[in-house]
Amino acid sequence: MLPNVLHDNGADHVPVLAEEVRDLLDVQPGETVVDATFGAGGHAAVLAAELRGRGRFIAIDRDPDARPYFERFKRHVGVQARFLRGEASVVLGQLADNDVKADAILLDLGVSSMQLDRPERGFSYAHDAPLDMRMDTNGEETAADVVNHASERELTRIFRAYGEERYARQIARAVGRRRRRQPFERTGELVDTIKSAIPAPARFGDGHPARRVFQALRIAVNDELAELEDALPAAVDMLRPGGRLAVISFHSLEDRTVKRFIRDLARGCVCPPDFPVCRCGQEPELRPLTRRAVRPSAEELAINPRSASARLRAALKT
C-alpha cells in the first residue's frame, strides 16, 4: 500500500506513477535519496518509506510553498531529512561540487498538485485568479508580463512549441487585440480570449480549450526546458556509480529531451563506424532501465486523470 500525502484541504494525494518510480529507483536502507522536485512530497513519502528508518533524504524545490509540506514530511519520515530551496539544476550542481553523492534521484517535471490546487497561483484555467504561474514566487516575470509584452509572433511560437496548440496564431492575434484595449491581469480574461479565438467545435473537443495555452505559458515563464537540460547532467554528476535516476515528464519536448540525454550517455564510443579501433575513449555513463517511456496504467488513469500525459524514464549510472 503506497503512502498518501494529505493536502491542507484534507484530500489525499497519490503521486503519479508512484509504484513504477519506487521499483525503478529501488531505494535501499542506508542510502541517500534526492527528490529534486519535492512539491507536496507525494513521491518523497513513497521513497522515504523504502529507507526503513536508515538513510538520508534531500528535498529540493524552487517553490517556497513546498517548505510546509516538507516540515510535515520530516516529522513522519524517520530519517535525516533536509530541504534546499532553489532550482534543481543549481542545487544539484552545488551538492555535487561539495562531494555530496546520491544513490537515487527523482525529477518530477511540470506543475505540481500543490500549485494547481491553489487558484491564487494562477496555474489553473478552471479558476479566475491573478495571471501569475511563477513556480518561484520571487521570480520577476509573470504570465501576465509574457501575455502583455511578447510580440504576437513570439506568442504564436510559445503556444505552438510549448503547448502544441493548433490555433496558436489565431489566439496570439486575439491576445494582441485584447491587450491593446486593456492589459491582461487575470486568468479568466485569458480563458475568455482563447475561447473567442478558436472555432466553436474546438471549444468542445479534447479537454479544456485553454489547457494547451496555459501549459505553454507556464513552461515559458519558468524556463522549464532550459532548466531540464541543466538539471539532467547535474543529477548524473551527483549520482554514485550504481545510482539510479528517474524522470517523469508531461510534455513531448521534455520526454524527447530526457530520451536523448539517456541515449547519448549510454552510447559510449562516438568514433566513426569505419575506425578499426576506438580512439575517443568515451565510456558509457548510463545504462537505461526503461526500454521506452513508462505510462500510467488504466487503473491509475481512472483514479487520477491528471496522470494521462505522464511519461517515466530511468537509468543507472555505470
Count of the separate structural domains present in the chain? 2
Residue 46 sits in a domain whose CATH number is 3.40.50.150
Average per-residue pLDDT for the chain? 92
**pLDDT grade for 13, boundaries at 50, 70 and 90:** low
Query: Would you say residue 9 has pLDDT above 70?
Result: no
Last residue of a domain, one of 221, 241, 257: 221
Q: Could you report the per-residue pLDDT of 70-93, keeping only the tens digit for each?
A: 999 999 999 999 999 999 999 999
Return the minimum-mean-pLDDT range out of 13-17, 89-93, 163-167, 250-254: 13-17
Higher pLDDT, 190 or 304: 190
- What's the confidence (pLDDT) of residue 173? 98
Domain interval for residue 76: 5-114+224-317
| Residue 1 in this model has a pLDDT that exceeds 80 | no
Whether residue 180 sits in one domain with residue 241: no
**Same domain for 154 and 287?**
no
Query: What's the pLDDT at 102?
Result: 98
Mean pLDDT of all residues in 269-281 = 75
Domain-located, residue 285: yes
Strands 239-249 and 56-61: unpaired
Checking if the pLDDT of 176 tops 70, the result is: yes
State whether 217 and 228 are in the same domain.
Answer: no
Is residue 169 domain-shared with residue 208, that is, in the same domain? yes
Boundary-marking domain end, from 175, 197, 221: 221
> For residues 8 and 5, what is the distance between their CA atoms, to the nearest angstrom?
10
What pLDDT is attached to residue 273? 76
Question: Are 46 and 89 in a shared domain?
Answer: yes
Q: Indicate the range of 18-32, 41-55, 86-100, 262-276 predicted with least confidence.
A: 262-276
pLDDT band with cut points at 50, 70 and 90 for residue 276: confident
**Residue 111: its pLDDT value, please?**
85
The cell for 242 is 550504481
Residues 186, 90 share a domain? no
Q: Is residue 93 a part of any domain in this protein? A: yes
Q: Is residue 95 part of a domain?
A: yes
The predicted pLDDT at position 204 comes to: 75
Say yes or no: 217 and 173 in one domain. Answer: yes
Closest CA to 248 of 302, 318, 295, 304: 295
Note the pLDDT tens digit of each residue in 130-161: 999 999 988 899 999 999 999 999 999 999 99
**Same domain? 105 vs 179:** no
pLDDT one-digit tens code per residue, 222-245: 999 999 999 999 999 999 999 999
Among the three residues 221, 248, 273, which one is the final residue of a domain in this structure? Answer: 221
User: Can you read off the three cell numbers belonging to residue 250?
Assistant: 508531461
Same domain, 104 and 232: yes
What's 142's domain CATH number? 1.10.150.170
In a domain, 49, yes or no: yes
Is the domain of 108 the same as that of 252?
Answer: yes
CA dist 219 and 116 (Å) reads: 14
pLDDT at residue 8 tops 70: no
